[in-house]
Amino acid sequence: MIAMLKNKFAIPAATAVLALAAAWPLTVNAANNTSVEVVEIAAEQSASEVIQALADQALADLTDQTLPDDVRRKKFVTLMDRYFEMDVVSRFVLGRYWRSISQEEISEFATLLQNYLALNYANQFKELNGEQFIVGNETQNNKDTFVNSQFVRPDGPPVSIVWRMREFDNEFKIIDVSIEGLSMGITQRDEFTSVIQQNGDDVSALTKALKAKTGL
């Protein structure tokens, strides 16, 4: 009922489960003073540093071949909790349908989505052997920062991965990942929208399907 994109980019997509620190001005009116002071508040880590930390932790936590599959999946979900802004991701992949459900239902969907991705991708980390993850430069587009990176494989050409990041409470979080120019968020949204539309625009049909798939 729900098809996940499974192709030569599957392993770097799972790493997605997964230079410049953005800053913005905070204006403060000083007491008994008409002057305005501008205070710069920056993220503790740059966007590229966050992606490097994600890659390091994923390779350390998920590539142990002796790790039980259920433990690996739980670790995958933990990484998504830490590095992805799942509320934003969930609203995006639900498209216009997120407006028809409550915040509680969105939060439930985010949990299901994490576990669904873990079920599809986590165990692929067992197959990694000799691959390298290289973080490149950053570019800024309005409020989002894009981090370029490459997944270098010993048996094939490198795969280009671009991470879309946004700052939340002085911390960069991932809101989308593009692999060789293909947005995983858009791909997932198209798949989920198809499921919802096939069930009379009922979002609960998608939720039930994800629950059945993940066992939650």
Q: How far is CA 21 from the centre of its chain?
A: 19
Q: Name residue 23's beta-bridge partners.
A: 42
Residue 169: CA count within 13 A, CB half-sphere: 1
Report pTM: 0.78
> What was the pLDDT predicted at 149?
96
Class of domain 10-18+45-214: alpha beta
Beta strand 132-141 pairing with 182-183:
unpaired
Per-domain residue ranges of the chain: 10-18+45-214
Q: Name residue 171's beta-bridge partners.
A: 168
Cβ atoms of 160 and 152 within 8 Å: the answer is no
User: For residue 190, which amino acid is it?
Assistant: D
Q: Mean pLDDT of successive 10-residue segments in the chain (216 residues)?
A: 39 38 27 39 80 93 91 94 94 93 92 93 85 92 94 90 95 95 93 94 94 91
> What was the pLDDT predicted at 43?
63
**At CA 78, angle to CA 158 and CA 68, rounded to 5?**
80
